[in-house]
Each structure stands twice: as structure tokens, then as C-alpha cells.
Amino acid sequence: MRREATTSSVTDSKSGAGLTPAQRRRGMRYIYLGSSAGAVLMMLLIRSGFGTLFIKHLGGSDRLAMLLGATVGFARIVQIPVSLRVHPSNGKKFMLRCWTVYALTMAAAALLPFVMGIGEATARAVVLTVFVAVIIGQSGFTFWFPILHDVIPADRRGRFIGRMRAWWSTSVFVAIIAAGLFLGKSPDTWRFQVVIVIAASLVLLRNYFVSRIPVVTELAVDQDDFGDWRKHISNLLRRKDVLIFCAYFAVVGLCIGFLGQPLVLYMRYMGFPTNENIIITGFTTLGTILALLIGGRLVDRIGTKRVFTATHLLLCVVCFSVVGIGMLPRNQARFLMPAALILAGAARAGGFLACTTQLFHLTPDRGRAFFLCLANILIFVGPSAAPLVAGEVLTALPADWSTTVSGVELNVFQIMLGLSGLTLLAALALLRFVKDIRPRNG
């Protein structure tokens, strides 16, 4: 009886209404291709070590480098007014226009050092321009998940999302390795710029594929109340299952965030050159690929709750392991850190895959764009807040600061990672209140 009370199965029969099986198959193929091309720029510049090291190369502070990693999560806020002002029937067209401007603005940010030279002012201008570009891109992204929600069959979401992310994670991994090899140990500025411009051109290629994805028109046309935000908020507040899940994953996301950009600075302080730093952090993406190859099928078969539990435990192990690796000589750390980051990427991928699957099954038929935007903001603010917290801590404390805990000397990075591991252990108690999602025929 307990399992029946906590487990939900796929019941959203309206998902994909109006699309034939052939249209959905064609749409899924274009989603694979579009996401593989379009993900490179965002993941390379903001989620990998490339963007952080670019800002440091330009002369930016640790706080500024961490601010770059926080832009995506906080830029998502713009999706709320967009979902209320742009009619769902025009969502795809609006999305493609935004993504075009986003790609051009990112390319412009890369070219700023030609005009302003190298220095703190240039680094600030680049971060500001990137933030503007991300706001524009996230405005269009408002309608991406609703398109996926309609195209992907309800009983295949875990598997499809896993494969989709495996596709674009593979393209990102290849891009990271290629960028690291192209940059070298002490890269010139123009090498960073070439990588960014090429990645921006891939966003335009994504537009070509996404423009060919079929969309549902029947549900969109009927949503005359899509801008009634009071009604949407009222409906959301009545969904305790949604609120509990958002609170739970926001805490988990905050801890995951410390294994991103702050870890890039950690390895920089450990003495890793630019190309090694970028390539080693790229192993996170390799772990993502390995996890996604089986993660989607696991979500569909065993349910989201068990995947969350495995994610929790693995992330705890990674946090504490990275603390220990930082105590080793660099020659030993360069071999162990990639292994830790493979595990981190696998755990992160499994967690976010289960998170997306959970959200899709919780999505109502009406006000879908608003619901998915608000839920994503609540959930993904954690990974974006972590770099901000790390940046403030590194600004307040000197680089060589350390303290002794139980007879062991720990630096500021090890303290942050250790606290993340302990917070993950404490957050495991919240998981018992999260509803398990498992397809009927999974």
C-alpha cells in the first residue's frame, strides 16, 4: 500500500495529441541533431572550465569568473514574463529568433578584446555581454521544454531524454577536448575567440534543425488563459508534490554547483595549466555520457526515486574524494581528478535526467510553459548560486587561507567541498517526501 501511495505512473494522455507517430519520430530525430549542435556554446563557455579560464586570462577576478557560471540560472527568471506574454502558438518562431540573436551576441562578446584590449574592464564587459546574450537565449528557451513535452511519448521520456543528453554531451566532450588541445598551456587571446565564434555558429545550425520539428497546435490555440499568472500560481501552490520536489532538488543543485566552476579555480590554484584544466574538467562530460547511455532506461524501469538516491550517495563520495585528492602532489592528482570528475558527471547526469523526467510527469495540460519555467527556476537556482557563494568566499579570504579540522589542515576549496558533501547527506532525509515517478509499462 505504501508503494501505491508514493508512486505515480504516466497518465498524461494528451501529451503529443495532434502529432502522428511518424511526426513524433521525425521530431525526435531533429531534437537529437539540434541539441547536439546548440549545446556546445553554453556548456563550453559557462558550464565547463573554458569560460572561467577565459575570464581569468583577460584579467578578471575570481568573483567575476564565478559570476559567469551563475548567469544561466538567474537569467531563467526572464522566462516567467515571456511565458505570459508570448502566445504558445508563436512560441517556436519566437524561440528561433531569440537563439539567432543569442548566437550573434555571444560572438560579439568574444570579439571585445580586439576593441578594449586585455584587463579587468574587458573581463567585466565580456561577462556583461554574455549575461545579455544568455537572457536573450533563455527567453527563447521558454518554449523548448513544452516542445519536448509534446513530441516525446509519455512512456519513453526517460529513455529519450537520456539519449538526447548523451548525444549533446558527446558533442560537448569532443568540443572541450578539441578546445583544450587548440588552446595549449599558455594560449593567446585569439585562440579563445576562435573557439567561441565556432561554437556560436553551431547555434545557428541548431536553428536549422529545430525549425523542422513538428509542433502541437490544438492545445496551444485553446490556451487563451496562458497569461493568467494568478491562476497558474494558485494551481502551483496547491501542488504540494511539486513544491516539495523543487525544494529538495534546489538543495541538491546547490551542492552539485560546487563541483563545477569552483572546482575549475581549485585546480588552477593547484597549478594545473590551462589546457590540462579544461581537459580534466571535460571528464565530467565523459561521465555524463556514460551515465546517460543507461540512465534513461533506468529511470523508466526503476523510477526516479531510486535514481535520486544513487545520485546522492555518489555525489557525497565525489565531494569527499576531491577533498582528499587536493592533499596529494599534482602528479598524482592529475590522474585521480579525472576519475573523480567522471563519477561527478555520471551522478549529475543521473540526477538531472530524473529531475527532467519528474517535471514532465508533473506538468499540467494548461499553462505548461509557465509551469516548466517556474519549476526550472526553483530547481536550477542552486547550481547557479554555488559559483556566487564561492566567488564571495574567495574574495573575502586570501588564496592561501587554511584551517585545521580534526587535526587535518584544509584550504578554502576543501572546506566548501566538504560542506557540500555533508549537506548532501542531510538532504537525503528530504527524499522520503518526494513522489516516485515510474511509467506503467516501465
Each residue's pLDDT tens digit, 366-407: 666 667 676 667 666 777 788 888 888 888 887 678 888 888
- Does 45 reside within a domain? yes
pLDDT value of residue 11: 42
- Does 87 reside within a domain? yes
pLDDT value of residue 97: 95
Q: What is the pLDDT of residues 36-92, one digit of tens each?
A: 999 899 888 877 778 888 998 999 888 888 888 777 767 778 888 887 788 877 888
- Does 7 reside within a domain? no
- Please, what is the average pLDDT of the chain? 81
Evaluate whether 289 touches 170 at the Cβ level (below 8 Å): yes
pLDDT value of residue 225: 52
**115-139 CB burial, b ≥16 within 10 A, e <16:** eeeeeeebbbbbbebbbbbbbbbbb
pLDDT value of residue 391: 84
- Does 9 reside within a domain? no
**At 260, is the secondary structure helix, strand, or coil?**
coil
pLDDT value of residue 228: 59
- Does 5 reside within a domain? no
Q: Which residues of the chain have pLDDT under 50?
A: 1-16, 218-222, 224, 441-442
Q: How many independent structural domains does the chain possess?
A: 1
pLDDT value of residue 440: 52
pLDDT value of residue 198: 95
HEC profile of 412-440: HHHHHHHHHHHHHHHHHHHHHHCCEECCC
Distance CA 179, CA 199 (A): 10
pLDDT value of residue 17: 52
Q: For residue 155, give its domain range.
A: 14-437
- Does 393 reside within a domain? yes
pLDDT value of residue 368: 64
Distance CA 209, CA 293 (A): 23
Evaluate whether 374 touches 80 at the Cβ level (below 8 Å): yes
Contacts of 66 (CB under 8 A, 6+ apart): 52, 261, 262, 265, 387, 388, 390, 391, 394
CATH number at residue 184: 1.20.1250.20
pLDDT value of residue 218: 47
- CA atoms in the 13 A half-sphere facing the CB of 16: 21
**No. of helices (H) and no. of strands (E), the chain:** 19, 4
- Does 8 reside within a domain? no
User: Please, what sign has the CA dihedral across residues 75, 77, 78, 82?
Assistant: positive
pLDDT value of residue 68: 80
Nearest 5°: phi and psi at 364?
-75, 165
Q: What is the DSSP string of 179-239?
A: HHHHH-SS--HHHHHHHHHHHHHHHHHHHHHHTTS----HHHHH-TTTT-HHHHHHHHHT-
Q: What is the pLDDT of residues 209-232, one digit of tens each?
A: 999 988 775 444 445 455 556 776
**At 127, is the secondary structure helix, strand, or coil?**
helix
pLDDT value of residue 105: 96
- Does 428 reside within a domain? yes
**At 405, is the secondary structure helix, strand, or coil?**
strand
Query: What DSSP character marks residue 16?
Result: T
pTM comes to 0.69
Evaluate whether 130 touches 68 at the Cβ level (below 8 Å): yes
Each as own residue / partner, the long-range contacts of residues 110-114 (CB below 8 Å, 24 or more positions apart, any chain) are: 110/192, 110/193, 110/196, 110/197, 110/200, 111/193, 111/197, 113/58, 113/189, 113/193, 114/193
pLDDT value of residue 436: 78
**At 142, is the secondary structure helix, strand, or coil?**
coil
